[in-house]
Amino acid sequence: MLHALGLVRHLFLATVFLACWNVTTNAQQETMHQQTNRPLENSEPSISLETLTLGAGCFWCVEAVFEGLEGVHSAVSGYMGGQIKNPGYREVCTGRTGHAEVVQVVYDSKIISTETLLEVFFSTHDPTTLNRQGADAGTQYRSAIYFHTDEQKPHAMKALEKAQSNWQASIVTEITAASEFYIAEDYHQAYYELNGEAPYCRAVILPKMQKLRSGFQHLLKIN
């Protein structure tokens, strides 16, 4: 069953890929990357924006979870932690580039704290399975927290220690400083929102969303 879900994901992705003729070029990705990594400028003094990059398996799942939280300004799927520049999805899927599928979360820390984001992170994936989430296996699916400030690192360590009490197996989440972030191709962005009826979304992402609504209803954006 797990293997079948993995095949469903990749087969459906192949269909989307063939239908998408305006896939972002490497040059466009580099431009987008530069724009994404510019220092955040707060136009309103009441807003305190921070960035945290998280890996918890398939980035479709992670993006769906975090983009619905109050205080989150953006949740962008991409790649981090590898050795080459401008990796594409096909390259990352080989596991040879060293990148993880991640979601870069920009949030207002006055509305939702780093501690709360990390509590959601540890509650909506299995941090004890090395290089695997369900049927998705490979180093690109590793559990990882990439901190962007020195202050975020101790929060991540404390969150991991707190989460360990909920698991019998040891947590294997990687905690490391953020490196180059590369935005994933257009067809990966807002994936659950646009493809919610797809088999992979219903089988894998929907249960995560149900768990999120059950345990963190008070954190969700009001539509």
- For residue 93, indicate whether it is catalytic: no
| Among 78, 52, 42, 41, CA closest to 152 | 52
Q: Active site residue: 58, 61, 93, 201, which one?
A: 58
Burial 169-201 (b: 16+ CB within 10 A, else e): eebbbeeeebebbbbbbebbbbbbeebeebebb
60 close to 192: Cβ distance less than 8 angstroms: yes
144 close to 176: Cβ distance less than 8 angstroms: yes
Q: Which amino acid is at 103?
A: V
Tell whether the torsion through CA atoms of 87, 90, 96 and 100 is positive or negative.
positive
C-alpha span between 10 and 97 (Å, rounded): 19
Residue 6 CB contacts under 8 Å (≥ 6 apart), including other chains: 134, 135, 136, 137
List the catalytic residues.
58
